[in-house]
Amino acid sequence: MTTATSPRSPLIGAALSRVEGPLKVSGTAQYTSDHHFDGMLVGVPVTATIATGRVSQIDSSIAQGMPGVHTIFTTDNIGPLYRVSPASGASIDEYRPPLSDDKVTYYGQYVALVVADTFEHATAAARAVKVSYDEEQPDVSLELTPDDEPSVDTERGDPEAVFAAGDVTLDAVYTTPPETHNPIELHASVAVFDGTRYTLYETTQAIMNHQAVMVQMLGVEPENVRVVTEYLGSGFGGKLWPWTHSVLAAAAARQLRRPVKIEITRKMMFQTVGHRTNTQQRMRLSATKDGKLTSLQHDYVFHVSRLDKSKENCGEATGYFYSVPNLRATAAFARRDIAPNTSMRGPGAVPGLYALESAMDEMAIKLNLDPVQFRLMNEPEIDEGKGVPFSTRHYTECLTRGAKSFGWAERTPEVGSMRRDGMIVGWGMAGASWMAKRLAAESTVTFLGDGRVRVACATQDIGTGTYTVLAQMVADMTGMDIADIHVQIGDSALPAGPMSGGSMATGSLVPSVSKSAKAAIENLLSLASKGEHSPLSGVDADQLAFTGGWVHRKDQPAQQGLRFEDLLAKENVAFVSGDGSSEPSSKDKDDDKRSIHSYGAHFVEVTWQPEIARLRVNRVLTVIDAGKIINPRTGRNQIEGAVIMGVGMALFEQTHYDRRNGAPINSNLADYVMTTHADAPTIDVEFLDFPDLALNEIGARGIGEIGLAGFAAAVTAAVYHATGVRVRDLPVKIEDLLASTVTH
Ligand code: MOS
C-alpha cells in the first residue's frame, strides 16, 4: 500500500555525479592493493595442479634459497586457523581453512604460500616449490544428474496432472554455463598485525561479515580485527564473502609480525574466489488455448564443490512472477571436483529467469500470442506463492511502457521478417524481477566544528554510488548543502552497516541514517538550549529549529539564529552527533504479509548477417520498477552495466574446465570473452518512479542486480526472431546460428 511520502528535497532523485569521482580519476583514492607499509612482505600462493587427491610432498628447498624469499608456509607452519561456526551467522563459501590438511578438492587450491620481499621474488620462488601429489581422476563434467533427491522450493495445486492434461504444453530444458566474476580490481588483502590487533585492508563487499569471519578463523576477539575497504573496483558478488588468500595474508602477518600483502593473479581469479555455477533447468508449462497459464514446473540442478555447497536459487522468482494455479519449483545439487561456487550478480534469479522467461517466449509463440500480451494476460493479483499482496508491483507498466518506447507495435512476428540496412533484424523481450529486503544498519551523523556534517557507517561502496547516495540522503535529511556532507564508510570500526549485496545497501541505509540525522539535530538543539554561551541559552529546545545549517527559534527566520559551527565554537564543543539504527525488514511486524520485489522489462534488437554469420545486440531498452530512484545517474549506470553483462551472459561468457585435471582453461581476459565496447548496444534505461514505502521512508528498493535478471532470455528471443534458431544452452554460439535457414 502506498501512502504519501513526507516532503523531500530535490536532492532525492537528483542525477548527481559520484562524489568520490575526483579522487578516483586523479588516482588519489586508495584501493586495497595501494596500501604499503614499512617492512611489508608480499605473499604469492602455490596452487594445486590437480583437482582431487592428496599432497604427498612439498619440496621447498630450492625456493627457500632464492633471492628475497623470507618464509614458505605450508600446513606445518601456518599456525592455528579455525572453522567458521555455521551457527554464527557469518557467511563464507569455503569453510575449510587454507593449508589445514593435505587434501586437494579443486584445481588451483592453495597448497603453500611463499612470502618474499617483492611480488617478483615471491612469484619466482612459488614456481620453484615442487609439489608431489597422489592424484585421483577428477569429475568436472558439465552433465547434470542430481546427487540427492530434489528439494521443493515452492509448490501449489497439482502441476503434474494439469500439465499432463494441458491444451498447449511446453517441455524444454535450458542450461547455463559456469561463469566467473572478473571485476577489473583483483582480489587483494593487506594484513597488518601488531601482536594483538589485526588491521586488514580488503577487497570486500561486506566489511562487517569479513570481520565476523576473520575473528573466528584467527580465533581472536572482535575488537582485535579491523577491516578496511575504502574503495572497490567492483565485485559482482565474488567479493561478498572472504576467500582463502585473505586468511593466509592474516595468518602470515601473525606468524611473521610483518605486514603481508597478497594480491591474487587474474588466473587465480578463475580458481579460488568463486564463480557462478552451471545450471540445467527443465521447464514444463501448460496453458489454455487462449493463453492462460494452467501449470508451471521448474526443476533445476546445478554443480557444487565437494566440500561446500552454495545454493543457486533458480526458483527464486518462479513462485510469484506469473499467475498460475498449479506450480512447483525444485532444486537439486550435483557435486563435482570444482572450487566452491558463490553468488554472482542476481544469484539464482538470473539463470532462473533465463529459463522461465525463455519458456514464456516459447509458449507465447505456441499460443500465437505476442509475448508482451501473453505476460499481461498472466499478471497475478497477489503473490500466489506466499498468498500475500505485493507491496507495490508495476510489472505491467514496465511491459507496456517498454513496448511503447521501443516501438514494439511495429514488430512482425514471423521469423526473419524484419530487415534493415541489408541485415536481418530480430526483436525479443523478457521480464525481470529481483528481491527487495532491508538489512540491519547502524550509523552516526555528526555536526563538525568546520561546518561539515559527517555520516559514518561500516558499509562500503562497490563502485555503484553508495558514497553519493549517502551524501544525498544526509543532505536531504539535514537540509544541508551536499558539498558539506562528508561520507565516511569502508571501516569496520564505524557503526555496523549493511553489506553491498543483494541490491540491499541503499534501501537498508535510509531508515538508520534518517534516525541518526534526527538524533544529531536534536542533540544540536539541546546544546543550543543548555549551553552556557549559546545566544539561545535557556530557550526550550522544543522552540528551536535547524534549517540549512542554522540553529534558530522556530518563530524567527533561520538567519536570526546562528550557524551550528558558531554554536560549537562558542561552547568549545568539538562536535555533536546522533546515532541511529534500524532492524532488518525480516523483523518488520507485517513482513510476512506482503511480497516486496523489483520488476523490469527488457526489449532487445539484434542484427543478423547470415552471409558472414555475424550476430550483434544492437539496441536495448530496459524499463525498471525499483521504487524511488535516489540518483538516476548512478542508477542508470547500474542498469547499463547489467545490460552489458547481460550481453556477455547471452553471447560470450563461459568458463571451460579441462576434463583431465579440472583446470579452468580460459583463465584470462583474452580467452574468457566478455562484452567489449564494440559489442555494446545502444542502451536506453527508463525508471518508473513508484516509491515503495514498505522498506523505508524514501521508497527506494535497490537496483544493483535487477538489470541482469531476464536479460539473456530477451536476447535469445530476439535471436530466434531473427534466425529461427532457439538457443536453450547459453551462451549463443556461432555454431548454433549456422543452423539458421533464414536467408536474404
Ligand atoms: Mo550481489 S551477487 O549480491 O554482490
Q: Is 344 in the pocket of ligand 1 (CB under 6 A)?
A: yes
Give the model's pLDDT for residue 147: 85
Q: Mean of the pLDDT values across residues 121-132?
A: 98
By DSSP bridging, strand 423-435 and strand 597-609 are: antiparallel
Residues 6+ apart with CB under 8 A from 320: 380, 383, 384, 385, 386, 433, 595, 597
Phi, psi (rounded to 5 degrees) for 658: -80, 120
Inform me whether the pLDDT recorded for 5 exceeds 80.
no
User: What is the spatial distance between Cα 110 and Cα 92, in angstroms, rounded to a whole number?
Assistant: 17
Closest among 698, 681, 680, 676 to 689, alpha carbons compared: 698
The pLDDT of residue 146: 86
Q: Are strands 614-625 and 597-609 parallel, antiparallel or unpaired?
A: antiparallel
Q: How far is CA 606 from CA 368, 550, 714, in A?
A: 22, 56, 10
pLDDT at residue number 6: 60
Q: Is the CB of 477 under 6 A from ligand 1?
A: no
**What pLDDT was estimated at residue 148?**
81
Residue 2 is predicted with a pLDDT of: 41
| CA distances to 100, 187, 399, 616 from 111, in Å | 9, 18, 52, 43
Minimum CA distance residue for ligand 1 atom 4: 237
Q: Residue 34, SS3?
A: helix
The residue-averaged pLDDT of 36-60 equals 98
Q: Round the average pLDDT of the chain to a whole number and report it.
A: 97
Q: What is the pLDDT of residue 145?
A: 85
pLDDT at 1 over 60: no
- The average pLDDT across 88-110 equals 97
Mean pLDDT to the nearest integer, 270-287: 98
Q: Which residue among 345, 460, 508, 645 is best mutated to probe the pocket of ligand 1, counting the most ligand atoms within 8 A of its Cβ?
A: 345
So what's the pLDDT on residue 4?
Answer: 45
Ligand 1 contacts CB of residue 349 (under 6 A): no
* Residue from 52, 145, 168, 47 nearest 106 by CA: 52
Atom of ligand 1 nearest to the CA of 504: 3
- For residue 665, the SS3 value is coil
Taking the centre of ligand 1 as the mean of its atom positions, its distance from the CA of residue 502, in whole angstroms, is: 5
Distances (CA, A) of 327 to 24, 220, 284, 378, 669: 49, 48, 10, 14, 41
pLDDT digits (tens, 9 = 90+) for 607-652: 999 999 999 999 999 999 999 999 999 999 999 999 999 999 999 9
Please tell me the distance between residue 442's alpha carbon and the centre of ligand 1 in angstroms: 21
Q: What is the pLDDT of residues 420-450, one digit of tens each?
A: 999 999 999 999 999 999 999 999 999 999 9
Is pLDDT of 516 > 60?
yes
- Which of 258, 287, 281 is CA-nearest to residue 334? 281
Q: Which residues pair with 68 in a beta bridge?
A: none
Orientation angle between helical segments 505-530 and 466-478, nearest 10 degrees: 40
Q: What is the C-alpha to C-alpha distance for residues 352 and 433, in angstroms, rounded to an integer?
A: 11
Cβ atoms of 52 and 104 closer than 8 Å: yes
> How do residues 462-479 score in pLDDT, each as one tens digit?
999 999 999 999 999 999
- Model confidence over 699-731: pLDDT tens digits? 999 999 999 999 999 999 999 999 999 999 999
This model's pTM is above 0.75: yes
